[in-house]
A and B are shown apart, each in its own frame.
Chain A
Amino acid sequence: MNDLFKLTLKQAAEGLKTKEFSSKELTTSVLDRIKKIDPKIGSFLLVTESIAFKQAEKADKLISENQILSYLTGIPFALKDIIVTKDIKTTAGSKILSDFIPPYSATVYEKLEGQSAVLVGKTNLDEFGMGASTENSAYQVTKNPWDLSCVPGGSSGGSAAAIAADLAIYSIGADTGGSVRQPSSLCGVVGLKPTYGRISRYGLIAMASSLDQIGVITKNAEDAALALKEISGYDSRDSNSVEKEVPDYEKFLKDDLKGLKIGVPKEFLSEGVDIKVKETIKRAFTQLEKIGAKLIDLSLPRLKEAIAVYYLIMPSEVSANMARFDGIRFGKERGEFGPEVKRRIMLGTYALSSGYYDAYYLKAAKVRTLIREEFKSAFEKVDVIAGPTSPVLPFKIGERADDPLQMYLADILTVPVNLAGVPAISIPCGLVDGLPVGLQIIGDHWQEGKILNTAFAYEKNYPFNDKPKL
């Protein structure tokens, strides 16, 4: 009973359903684990113990009346602190919002509350999601559970580390240029960023509106399928959310990949990628072939422009999105912004200035369309595209903190996906020197089922059973 925190979402939901244990017991186990372990990790900015117990009690009542609303009923989860929660402090990892108690909740949190899910806390992140190591949080450094001297990745580092360390059964993050997938890769967990428009962004504090997408971080691919289904869907409050039926993703999960065509772009394994990461990914390709997939060599030459495009479009949108924190209504002066936020505001302001707009923002927007088209035509030939999630293994805390350009390159394999708006998942596919490597599987728009199936079949046949020692 004391080890309930170790359960996957599927296992926990079954345990609650069969009344093997209660939501309160499960929640207690997770909260105890947080108390014991999180001081070492620093995943949480806020632990919402009393709220969690109230929600667990409500869930237990529903369960006792056989009113289980979804897989998520009664299950403890962690929420990236960039998603607003009514009456619960939401900081976006920034000093600017250190006293911000939102008067409303994000659609995704409303959905979770509606299913009687249990919020155990709000997780750490790079300030406003800007970073790839969670070192840009104004509050604390989050450590990688696999090696406490390493970063967990970012910006959803708190959410990913929490799952790696069993501090929640699943967690919710947000991904603008890799912020769900890259920390999931670095922490050896599963991270899924769905198609842009699949999950409502209403209440997700915007970093770059045309790129931001909420995603899930779970212990395995099956859990990702379950969680994704419950938080997806059209929302009339988000004009970019799409009125499209949410499939039962669980139905896509099969043990083999017979007939699946996997595209392998050579650009994903170019010289920038760590040799050990490359080897691990190549091994994973062979394993995928063994379970029925057909590998097809691809070239996506536009990918080399992706970082440049991303670092024009993203800061441009950032410069506008940060303008509301003007020192008038949120109680804090703009000087409270961290250096990375200031840097992006300045980059974006410059890129949008009269006389530079055409050369920077507009040009980038055009190349973005080309990248999107390149993906589109690739998906006419293959079902999914695979490669590494991160070009490097988890790096040391402080190692890249003073070199923004190096930090930006951490996103090189993940940003094209956001630019194209397609879904992608990162799953662990092995350890190098005791540190996890993530395999990224990218699908066409709305093809979450295919990437989940690929991920599921892989982990069924080549399970990743290692756990960090804590």
Chain B
Amino acid sequence: MRTYLTTIGLEVHVQLKTASKMFCTNSAEYFGAQPNSHVCPVCLGLPGALPVANEKAIESVTRFALALNCRINKQSKFDRKNYFYPDLPKGYQISQFDLPIGEQGWLELDGKKIGITRVHLEEDTGKLIHANVNGEKVSLIDFNRSGVPLMEIVTEPDIESPEEARSFSKLIHQIARYLEVSNADMEKAGMRFDANVSIRPRGATKLGNKVEIKNINSFRFLEKALAYEIGRQVEILESGGKIIQETRGWVESKNVTVSQRTKETSPDYRYFPEPDLPPLVFEQAQIEALKNSLPELPAEKSKRFEEEYSLDKKYVRILTEDSNVAQWYEKALSLYSKEKSKILANWVVEELLRIIHDKNLIINGVPIEPAGLIELLTILDKGEINQTTARRVLVRMFETGNLPSRIVNEENLAQLSKSEDLESVVEEIIRENQKAVKDFKNGKEASIGFLVGQIMSKTKGQANPKTAETLVRKKIYGNQSGS
């Protein structure tokens, strides 16, 4: 079998987080709402209704385009994209054709530049629901989603594998959240993908015929659909066939792509400028101001975390995945000590985020402030509690919302470091484990560990293991010398 090179270009659709829809004042937060409860004459496309552009959405897309290093068109506009589908109430979608908000950008993914062809703004469509009503098969239309602002990002064909496509999409998702332009909620179809893919034998310069895969709604499916499609194309070429340029749909339930339409039957959208909306005009100063207002982006933040806090790549990746987590970490670190950045990173990643993940929470929704964790770590550093207790206290902090000092006091969790606190426990353990004592006396040094372990377990981890060990040795040798 020959080896093949893969060429992928993506179209990523991201629903924007705005209070109202793209062209009317209805709430855009439609998820889970009663069908057709978030509708008005505008998003229902009733005769006579007119669109009014959502300025927040325009700003969001402009910021996003800037974050993707795009050139912002000072003269932009909306266009009508004409096509028929029952979920498109006006018979055309208001989108952008030849003058998108942003063009010619790039995004770095693991050291490689992926070209961004364009970033534009459009409106989402309604949704068809195929149901069985009174034994009859019917198609129902829910217009709640109709008119929700949608950002489309189109890449150059610079992506070379399904894995890279997935990583790229995740990066887009991450940036959307960093900029707070979208929740890009995968469960709520807040992000959707179309992928163009072609293969060519290694050494060939001419790209193969491309196939567009539509309607993919998760990172995993994107990777799977592309992998399937590449496999399908390789099989065709290997058996001497030809790839037909066509549009295929990803069928989740069967893990396959199926043909939807070929190039010959592809629609002519008859784009023309939307006469109901005046052109968008951006001043240079406005663009500069938006550029300057951009937050630190994932790539810069990762780099800074690595350099400034000397953290491992793995921890950096986890801490910077969500800008809220990164912010939380840095706030905590500012209350702690920069030298202890690794210890803190370890606590945040291994303990805090693990609990958050297990409980299906988000960092901004937890009852623990950075100051609370730092108080806990300070108590730990002072030796008032040990590592095991500290982990227990953290769990209790989640459960009670109380500060660690209060939990330690109220629940009597302070470490037993003084000899007199441990004397009776040590005596008891020695009494009950004469065999181990004998072994130790006979030179089996490891037995001391067992005895200390027993003490730790008896004190539910509160005993200071060093104090306990000293005491055990003292008791055993004391007994010996006394015999």
Residues on A facing B (Cβ under 8 Å): 83-84, 90, 92, 97, 100, 102-104, 106, 201-206, 208-210, 236-240, 316-317, 319-320, 322-326, 328-329, 349, 352-354, 357, 361, 365
Closest 3 CB pairs of A and B: A323-B91, A210-B275, A352-B270
With A102-B46, A203-B49, A236-B52 in contact, is A324–B272 under 8 Å at CB?
Answer: no
Partner of B48 from the list A83, A236, A239, A322 (CB cut-off 8 Å) is A83
Task: Check A320 against B50 for contact (C-beta < 8 Å).
Answer: no
CA distance A106 to B90 in the complex (A): 18
CA distance A324 to B45 in the complex (A): 7
CA distance A78 to B202 in the complex (A): 74
With A204-B48, A205-B48, A354-B270 in contact, is A239–B84 under 8 Å at CB?
Answer: no
Task: Check B276 against A203 for contact (C-beta < 8 Å).
Answer: no
- Give the chain A neighbours of B89 by CB distance below 8 A: 324, 329
Partner of B91 from the list A102, A205, A209, A326 (CB cut-off 8 Å) is A326
Apart from A100-B47, A323-B91, A349-B270, list 18 A-B contacts with CB within 8 A.
A84-B46, A103-B41, A103-B46, A104-B40, A202-B48, A209-B276, A210-B275, A238-B50, A239-B53, A316-B272, A317-B272, A317-B275, A319-B82, A320-B80, A324-B89, A325-B47, A352-B271, A352-B272
CA distance A238 to B270 in the complex (A): 24
Q: How far is the CB of B265 from chain A (nearest CB, A)?
A: 14
Q: How far is the CB of B476 from chain A (nearest CB, A)?
A: 88
With A103-B41, A206-B47, A324-B45 in contact, is A239–B90 under 8 Å at CB?
Answer: no
Partner of A324 from the list B51, B91, B268, B276 (CB cut-off 8 Å) is B91
Partner of A237 from the list B52, B86, B90 (CB cut-off 8 Å) is B52
CA distance A201 to B47 in the complex (A): 11
Q: How far is the CB of A235 from chain B (nearest CB, A)?
A: 9
- Give the chain A neighbours of B92 by CB distance below 8 A: 320, 323
Residues on B facing A (Cβ under 8 Å): 40-41, 45-53, 80, 82, 84, 86, 89-92, 141, 268, 270-273, 275-278
With A239-B276, A320-B80, A323-B91 in contact, is A201–B50 under 8 Å at CB?
Answer: yes
Q: How far is the CB of A179 from chain B (nearest CB, A)?
A: 16
Task: Check B91 against A206 for contact (C-beta < 8 Å).
Answer: no
CA distance A329 to B139 in the complex (A): 13
CA distance A320 to B275 in the complex (A): 11
CA distance A103 to B270 in the complex (A): 31
Task: Check B270 against A353 for contact (C-beta < 8 Å).
Answer: yes
- Give the chain A neighbours of B275 by CB distance below 8 A: 208-210, 317
- Give the chain B neighbours of A329 by CB distance below 8 A: 89
Q: How far is the CB of A91 from chain B (nearest CB, A)?
A: 10
Nearest B residue (CB) for A235: B50
Q: How far is the CB of A314 from chain B (nearest CB, A)?
A: 11
Can you list 20 A-B contacts with CB-CB less than 8 angstroms, sorted by A residue number?
A: A83-B48, A84-B47, A103-B46, A104-B41, A202-B49, A203-B49, A205-B47, A206-B48, A209-B275, A210-B275, A239-B276, A240-B277, A320-B80, A324-B47, A326-B84, A349-B270, A352-B82, A354-B268, A357-B270, A361-B272
CA distance A206 to B336 in the complex (A): 65
CA distance A352 to B80 in the complex (A): 11
Partner of B90 from the list A201, A210, A324, A357 (CB cut-off 8 Å) is A324
Q: How far is the CB of A159 from chain B (nearest CB, A)?
A: 17
- Give the chain A neighbours of B278 by CB distance below 8 A: 239-240
CA distance A90 to B41 in the complex (A): 14
CA distance A239 to B53 in the complex (A): 8
- Give the chain B neighbours of A100 by CB distance below 8 A: 47
- Give the chain A neighbours of B41 by CB distance below 8 A: 102-104
Task: Check A84 against B82 for contact (C-beta < 8 Å).
Answer: no
CA distance A209 to B46 in the complex (A): 14
- Give the chain A neighbours of B268 by CB distance below 8 A: 353-354
CA distance A60 to B55 in the complex (A): 44
Nearest A residue (CB) for B278: A239
Task: Check B50 against A357 for contact (C-beta < 8 Å).
Answer: no
CA distance A232 to B407 in the complex (A): 69
With A323-B92, A324-B89 in contact, is A104–B46 under 8 Å at CB?
Answer: yes
Task: Check B50 against A202 for contact (C-beta < 8 Å).
Answer: yes
Task: Check B276 against A320 for contact (C-beta < 8 Å).
Answer: no
- Give the chain B neighbours of A201 by CB distance below 8 A: 50
Nearest A residue (CB) for B273: A365
Task: Check A203 against B51 for contact (C-beta < 8 Å).
Answer: no
Q: How far is the CB of A457 from chain B (nearest CB, A)?
A: 36
Q: How far is the CB of A324 from chain B (nearest CB, A)?
A: 5
- Give the chain A neighbours of B46 by CB distance below 8 A: 84, 102-104
Partner of A84 from the list B48, B52, B86 (CB cut-off 8 Å) is B48
